[in-house]
């Protein structure tokens, strides 16, 4: 739970600090809106993604790679508190557990609704799948555009940042790697 009363109070001070009048019509309710917004944007902080994936199915002897591609996400960059957004592709080689597709989507949702870094988002998704499903391999690709690069600093809108996390066979075995890249082409 975020402390909405405190956010409301402090955001009013931020508005004053930038030289604006927090009592003018358009800004009067903004601190309250921000408090409600932060509750939603950071709702992932109070949820444990491992618990979601732990409700997975037992599926013995299925070792074909499973891919879930193009999962959209919106997150907040922890360095600038500006949005970054894009999509996540996940692939894993099951040993004896597979995850419901909606559960994987939920994991992406939980881990992106936090102050986050793109690199860490990918690592945390891959770790969550590793910890809960014990797969023979995991691959995660995250592609995102960062508002902190588009509207400030180097100002290059449209630039995409792509990160990969590969564990187990998807990292070590060439045929598994090729299959992973094949799955990414399905988008
Ligand atoms: Zn940033």
Coil, strand or helix at 88? strand
What's the gap in Å between 172 CA and the centre of ligand 1? 32
* CA–CA gap between residue 69 and residue 85 (Å, rounded): 15
Cβ pair 166, 177 in contact under 8 A: yes
What's the gap in Å between 140 CA and the centre of ligand 1? 21
* CA–CA gap between residue 187 and residue 163 (Å, rounded): 16
* CA–CA gap between residue 183 and residue 74 (Å, rounded): 23
What's the gap in Å between 82 CA and the centre of ligand 1? 6
Kindly list the structural domains of the chain, giving each domain's residue range(s) and its CATH number in brackets, ordered by start.
4-41 (1.10.286.10), 47-184 (3.30.1130.10)
In whole numbers, what is the pLDDT of the chain averaged over residues? 94
What's the gap in Å between 51 CA and the centre of ligand 1? 29
Which of 35-44, 55-64, 160-169, 175-184 is the least confident region? Answer: 55-64
Quickly state the pLDDT bin for 163 (edges 50, 70, 90): very high
Cβ pair 111, 35 in contact under 8 A: no
The per-residue pLDDT for 151 is: 85
Please tell me the pTM assigned to this model: 0.93
The string of pLDDT tens digits covering residues 67-113 is: 999 999 999 999 999 999 999 999 999 998 889 889 999 999 999 99
- Cβ contacts of 112 within 8 Å, gap of 6 or more: 44, 73, 74, 75, 121
State the residue for tokens 């601190």. 31
Two tokens, residue 26:
């358009």
What's the gap in Å between 83 CA and the centre of ligand 1? 8
What's the gap in Å between 79 CA and the centre of ligand 1? 5
The per-residue pLDDT for 187 is: 74
Coil, strand or helix at 87? strand
Please give the DSSP secondary-structure letter assigned to residue 57. Answer: E
The alpha carbon dihedral of 44, 50, 51, 52 has a sign of positive
């Amino acid at each position: 739970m975020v402390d909405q009363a405190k956010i409301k109070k402090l955001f009013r001070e931020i508005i004053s600090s930038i030289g604006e009048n927090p009592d003018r019509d358009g800004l009067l309710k903004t601190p309250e809106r921000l408090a409600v917004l932060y509750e939603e944007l950071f709702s992932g902080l109070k949820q444990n993604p491992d618990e979601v994936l732990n409700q997975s199915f037992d599926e013995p002897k299925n070792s074909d790679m499973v891919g879930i591609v193009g999962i959209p996400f919106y997150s907040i960059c922890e360095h600038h508190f500006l949005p970054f957004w894009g999509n996540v592709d996940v692939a894993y080689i099951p040993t004896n557990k597979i995850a419901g597709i909606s559960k994987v989507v939920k994991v992406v949702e939980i881990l992106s609704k936090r102050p986050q870094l793109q690199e860490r988002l990918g690592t945390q998704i891959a770790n969550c799948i590793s910890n809960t499903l014990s797969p023979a391999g995991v691959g995660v690709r995250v592609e995102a555009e960062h508002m902190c690069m588009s509207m400030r600093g180097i100002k290059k809108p449209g630039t995409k940042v792509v990160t990969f996390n590969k564990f187990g066979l998807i990292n070590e075995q060439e045929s598994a790697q090729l299959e992973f890249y094949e799955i990414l082409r399905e988008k």
